[in-house]
Structure 1
Amino acid sequence: MTESMTMNKENFVTCDLLDANPEAQVCLPNIEGKSFHRFGGQNRFCGEIVTVKCFEDNSRVKSLLNSNGKDKDGYGKVLVVDGGGSMRCALLGDMIAQSAIDNGWAGVIVYGCVRDVDDLAKMDIGVMALGCIPRKSTRRDEGQTDIEISFGDLRLRSGMFVYADNNGIIASDKALI
């Protein structure tokens, strides 16, 4: 990025943000043999973090992304889902992603799997996950929200900020742009 350009939510590059903010956390590119991949239609996305921890049950993911972001939790935020790295079922699909878009969420990062990837790729939302699988999760109304989660050398809490692009994922206690 040239010196005269100012970074914003539409043009930031995580490499440049990290160079300017070396204290930011960096997600490792390979976590126990798994790596994050981009599945959404946005090449880059960022926002204030809302955390959820759930294992093979996307009940909390669905309810959070269905929340009216313009009035409440989601507007411009990024839901970070600690799915325990499970590759056995998807925690996000096209219908829940559409709810996220309708409610103003900037993106979703899933430490686990997604599905409906061809549709997700056409949607105006950032989505990163470890992989994809056609199997949906079983809803048992389990999971925890707004707790500290960790994966890939990241320690994340609701209220922090995350930045994701084709270079990777970084997080910070403060807004970087």
Structure 2
Amino acid sequence: MLNVKSNQSWPAGYIINPPPPALDAKWLESFRGMPSAIVSDCLGRNVGGLGLKPFHGSRHMCGSALTVRVRPGDNLMILKALQMARPGDVLVIDGSGDQTRAVIGGIMRAMALKAGIAGVVVNGAIRDLDEWAEGDLPVFALGCVHRGPSTDGGGEINVPISCAGLVVNPGDLIIGDADGVVAVSPAELDALLSRCGDLLDREAGLMQAIEAGTLDPLRFDDLLRSKGCPI
């Protein structure tokens, strides 16, 4: 990882901030395998990326956000971010939703694997789909296109970004699976883990009741009545 000075003066259009403190390993272990839908439900059901699709299969993603904002179709600052990445980081890229040119492909995938990156999320497009489909590195993007990027620059690293409607701050916990991608502030992790555990237990109980045929047949009628529906 390359060191970056926090008091560096940057020209217009460029910011490279040092990374935040690494997430405690206990959080990565606790949330590894946690369904994104469970996390989303426990965060109020109104957060998470929209339109991001997995291009690697079904492997779960869990890691600490390394954020990058780039010009549409340009990946110079993504290359720089790869140099800065720590093992376990998730590279979260705001490419303004542009799908006319891919900003990351097979060569950069190999660089990310070598750096120990835990996953990649792109508000934009990727390419070299066959290589991503090998499944070694989780990747979520809006789409895939053969057209490659420029390397002209402009961009920011380790700044708050918007990624497909998902607000991501550097150091957030990023969770992704077949259902989508969510981000969680480190300050929320303790309470969130407890809520996720409770919800998983409730859902397991419901599944057992469905299987046993003991689910309360009146529960939905009672809910409708509570909302004023005359059943």
Shorter chain as denominator, the TM-score bin is 0.7 to 0.9
SS where residue 171 of structure 1 aligns? strand
Q: Match of 1:58? A: 75
In the TM superposition, structure 1's runs of 4+ consecutive aligned residues that sit over 4 Å from their partners are none
Alpha-carbon offset, residue 162 of structure 1: 1.0
Task: Confirm whether residue 26 of structure 1 aligns to residue 47 of structure 2.
Answer: yes
Q: Percent identity?
A: 29
Please tell me whether the aligned partners of residues 52 and 164 of structure 2 are also in contact (alpha carbons under 8 angstroms). Answer: no
Please tell me whether the aligned partners of residues 40 and 48 of structure 2 are also in contact (alpha carbons under 8 angstroms). Answer: no
Q: Match of 2:10? A: none
Q: Between Structure 1 and Structure 2, which shows a larger proportion of helix residues? A: 2
Residues 50 and 25 of structure 1: is their aligned pair in 2 closer, same or farther, counting only changes over 3 Å? farther
Please tell me whether the aligned partners of residues 66 and 170 of structure 2 are also in contact (alpha carbons under 8 angstroms). Answer: yes
Q: How many residues in Structure 1 have an aligned counterpart in Structure 2? A: 160
Q: Match of 1:110? A: 122
Alpha-carbon offset, residue 8 of structure 1: 4.4
Greater Cα radius of gyration, structure 1 or 2 = 2
Equivalent positions of 1:87-102 (< 5 A) are 87-102=99-114
Q: Distance in 2 between matches of 1:57 and 1:93?
A: 12
Please point out which of 137, 145, 157 is paired with 1:145.
157
Q: Distance in 2 between matches of 1:44 and 1:78?
A: 12
Q: Distance in 1 between matches of 2:80 and 2:164?
A: 26
RMSD: 2.1
Alpha-carbon offset, residue 115 of structure 1: 0.2
Equivalent positions of 1:38-53 (< 5 A) are 38-40=54-56, 43-53=59-69
Please tell me whether the aligned partners of residues 163 and 170 of structure 1 are also in contact (alpha carbons under 8 angstroms). Answer: yes
Residues 8 and 162 of structure 1: is their aligned pair in 2 closer, same or farther, counting only changes over 3 Å? closer
SS where residue 80 of structure 1 aligns? strand
Q: Match of 1:36? A: 52
Q: Which moved more, 1:166-175 or 1:78-87?
A: 166-175
Greater relative CO (CA pairs within 8 A, separation 6+): 1
Please tell me whether the aligned partners of residues 42 and 127 of structure 1 are also in contact (alpha carbons under 8 angstroms). Answer: no
Task: Confirm whether residue 15 of structure 1 aligns to residue 37 of structure 2.
Answer: yes
Amino acid at match of 2:82: L
Gaps of 5+ in 1: 1-5, 30-34, 68-72
Q: Between Structure 1 and Structure 2, which shows a larger proportion of strand residues? A: 1
Amino acid at match of 2:60: R
Q: Which moved more, 1:46-55 or 1:166-175?
A: 166-175
Amino acid at match of 2:95: G
Amino acid at match of 1:83: G
SS where residue 63 of structure 2 aligns? strand
TM-score by length of 1: 0.81
Gaps of 5+ in 2: 1-28, 194-231
CA deviation map 1:52-92 (0-9, x unaligned): 0002110111222244xxxxx32101010000001110011
Q: Distance in 2 between matches of 1:145 and 1:111?
A: 15
